[in-house]
Structure 1
Amino acid sequence: MRLEDLNYFLAVAEAGHVGRASTRLGHSQPALTKGLQRLEKELGIQLFERTPKGMTLTTAGAAFFERARHVRTGLDDAIKEASDLHLGKIGLVRVGVAPAYVQMLCAPACSALITQRPAARIHMTTGLNDALFGALRLGELDLCISAIAASPDPEFAQHPLMEDDLLVMAREQHPLFDKRALRFADLVEYGWILPTDKVMARRAIDARFLEAGLPTPEVVIESSSTVATLLPVVRTTDLLTVVGQRAAGPSGGGLRPIPLEQARWRRTIGICTRRGAYQSPLAKRFIEIVDQHARDLTGA
């Protein structure tokens, strides 16, 4: 089996179209088509259904795709490991980080790593955990720093760093604070600013309301990035949102947490890596630095 044929297959499976895959890879469409034909002949199975709109994986093709994706990622790890050894264990570390922890955890760790290893290079991707975990799963990241799941994905290894609960926040003069007997159900009366439902925090919030027998929050503004950038809207309206306790700080910056235990979501921030994946000495050192910095922050 030719390695380029496997790459062609993965590219077409991900793009769903030979033309788009050829553009992405920088090879001609006939080359990709011949490669797919060779691969199907060698395997003795049909991998795709050819349609006027593109290429759809067959059942057998979908199963092969999942296995082949892991093989390709493992091969990339082997190449990266060999490269690290060839370069004298100096190279690149690819870090994904949630926006709230760039300044708090990632930036100090980057400074320390560059001071200790001047030849090191860091590629940082900032995003919410749905995007970060997706990139980590595909082998595009060596690690990510974000909220970690209570029930982790078996593909990932998790290393807890600190607790940072999510709090429902409102402007200081919000009508909710005038209620004598504030109830969780009162929060349904107001609109919210929340991340998309692909994000772990949003799913946890929706679940809390459903568990209480309430409708999920009415989302007035839905953000595909951090809601922290929209806090000025919360300060000037009656909209509610959720903010990490550490990001909110002791003063809240014109915002106050809703004083209900149900309006708090217990959350652990940690480092995620792909279970069993190769970690370069540089990546391992970066993880050690982040871990120590988190210990310093929490007094652990």
Structure 2
Amino acid sequence: MNLPKLLDGRLKIRHLVLLDALTRQGSVIGAAAELHITQPVATRGLQDVEEILGVSLYDRGPRGITPTIFGQAITEHARAVLAQLNQAGRHIVELADAERGTVVVGTHLAGSSVLLPVAIARLKNERPSLTVIVREGTPAALLAELEGGRVDVIVGRLTSPTTEFLSRTPLYSETVRIFSNSQHPLAKVTTVNLRELISYPWILPGSETILRRELEEFFARHDLELPQNRIEATSFLTIRKLLMVGNFVAALPSLIAADARNLQPLAVPLDNIGHSIGITTASTRALSPSAVALIDSLKLTAKFLEH
């Protein structure tokens, strides 16, 4: 296979943007809608890139498209290029006004209710002109945003080690416990029977999360099926409200629930289910001064949470 000529002017920035959207959306229709172009234009753009590279980038199926090994590889490189361009524009802005700037931080359930708000408040006290944009999402969606340069840093649970493309820095360890409201029938029980607990309505994390898989394994070890009466949710605002208005129970990171009034842990050991909270950044690009400032604030805040 001859080395494709990617610098001869045929490959455009719009092609890279299209590849990123196609891989995230999993369909030509979805990518076209996101980019505000017609489906034929998106299809032609994909055909152009495949012609330039000389390989098939996606497998077409009845439910959409799935990247081939070539498609996944070129998407990673496309996101890296787009991230560098986004970073370049913001770098110019920050050089023009050192006190201003923008940092985009992604977060999911762990770390979102205590660590991040406190760190942002500390940062804004020192740099009031700096803009902080917080984006919530699933871990997979946030990683795609990070790779594409739309997010500078992710705060939350660390589930994988540092790689060639992603740098992960642990900040503190956190346990997971089962919580209810303080008026729950099991709130005053010194030893909760798991089979009795199963009979109550549960709030479980989404099936795409690591915590959900850990809970499934926990129930399996105790020869129990997943609770039939359940809701799946990852938004802490939704979870907290449900816990307050009914006899729901939920497995939550300890710090999140500890900061919420009228919630309390039940006397149920979770076999040491816990996790490391930290920050994830892209290894392939330099951080902006604003991102560095936020990370410094996160590290300082984490030291206080450990004690």
Shared fold, TM over 0.5: yes
1:276 aligns with 2:298: no
Identity over aligned pairs, percent: 24
User: Conserved in 1, the CA contact under 8 Å of 2:172 and 2:306?
Assistant: yes
User: RMSD value over aligned CA atoms?
Assistant: 3.4
Cα 1:19/1:196, change in 2 over 3 Å? closer
CA distance in 2, matches of 1:100, 1:12: 29
CA distance in 1, matches of 2:269, 2:161: 25
1:238 aligns with 2:244: no
1:124 aligns with 2:113: no
User: Conserved in 2, the CA contact under 8 Å of 1:10 and 1:65?
Assistant: no
Partner of 1:159: 169
CA distance in 2, matches of 1:210, 1:54: 32
1:297 aligns with 2:305: yes
Q: Which of 68, 73, 77 is matched with 1:67 structurally?
A: 73
Cα 1:258/1:54, change in 2 over 3 Å? closer
User: Conserved in 2, the CA contact under 8 Å of 1:95 and 1:123?
Assistant: yes
CA distance in 1, matches of 2:239, 2:225: 24
1:256 aligns with 2:267: no
CA distance in 1, matches of 2:109, 2:126: 25
CA distance in 2, matches of 1:123, 1:71: 25
CA distance in 1, matches of 2:305, 2:64: 51
Partner of 1:191: 201
User: Conserved in 2, the CA contact under 8 Å of 1:157 and 1:273?
Assistant: yes
Deviation at 1:69, TM superposition (A): 1.4
User: Conserved in 2, the CA contact under 8 Å of 1:168 and 1:242?
Assistant: yes
Partner of 2:83: 77
> Which secondary structure does the structure 2 equivalent of 1:165 belong to?
strand
Cα 1:116/1:213, change in 2 over 3 Å? same
- Matching residue's letter, 1:289: S
CA distance in 1, matches of 2:51, 2:108: 44
User: Conserved in 1, the CA contact under 8 Å of 2:175 and 2:253?
Assistant: yes
Q: Which moved more, 1:179-188 or 1:283-292?
A: 179-188
Any idea what the Cα deviations from partners look like across 1:146-182, whole Å, max 9, x if unmatched? 1222x44745322222233221123445444676864
CA distance in 2, matches of 1:54, 1:205: 30
> Which secondary structure does the structure 1 equivalent of 2:287 belong to?
coil
Deviation at 1:64, TM superposition (A): 2.0
Cα 1:176/1:119, change in 2 over 3 Å? closer
CA distance in 1, matches of 2:59, 2:255: 51
Deviation at 1:110, TM superposition (A): 2.5
CA distance in 2, matches of 1:249, 1:205: 20
Deviation at 1:118, TM superposition (A): 4.5
User: Conserved in 2, the CA contact under 8 Å of 1:92 and 1:123?
Assistant: yes
1:247 aligns with 2:253: no
User: Conserved in 1, the CA contact under 8 Å of 2:111 and 2:157?
Assistant: no
> Which secondary structure does the structure 2 equivalent of 1:273 belong to?
strand
Aligned residues: 292
Partner of 1:5: 15
Cα 1:246/1:28, change in 2 over 3 Å? closer
Structure 2, unaligned runs of 5 or more: 1-5
CA distance in 2, matches of 1:195, 1:239: 13
1:203 aligns with 2:213: yes
Deviation at 1:75, TM superposition (A): 1.0
- Matching residue's letter, 2:69: A
CA distance in 1, matches of 2:142, 2:26: 23
> Which secondary structure does the structure 2 equivalent of 1:160 belong to?
strand
Cα 1:222/1:116, change in 2 over 3 Å? same
> Which secondary structure does the structure 1 equivalent of 2:284 belong to?
coil
CA distance in 2, matches of 1:72, 1:287: 26
Partner of 2:3: none
Deviation at 1:67, TM superposition (A): 1.3
Structure 1, unaligned runs of 5 or more: none
Bigger share in helix: 1
Any idea what the Cα deviations from partners look like across 1:37-92, whole Å, max 9, x if unmatched? 433333333445678x79645xxx62222111111121123223433443316632
User: Conserved in 1, the CA contact under 8 Å of 2:56 and 2:68?
Assistant: no
Deviation at 1:208, TM superposition (A): 1.0
CA distance in 2, matches of 1:56, 1:77: 24
CA distance in 1, matches of 2:162, 2:278: 14
1:225 aligns with 2:231: no
> Which secondary structure does the structure 2 equivalent of 1:96 belong to?
strand
CA distance in 2, matches of 1:13, 1:198: 18
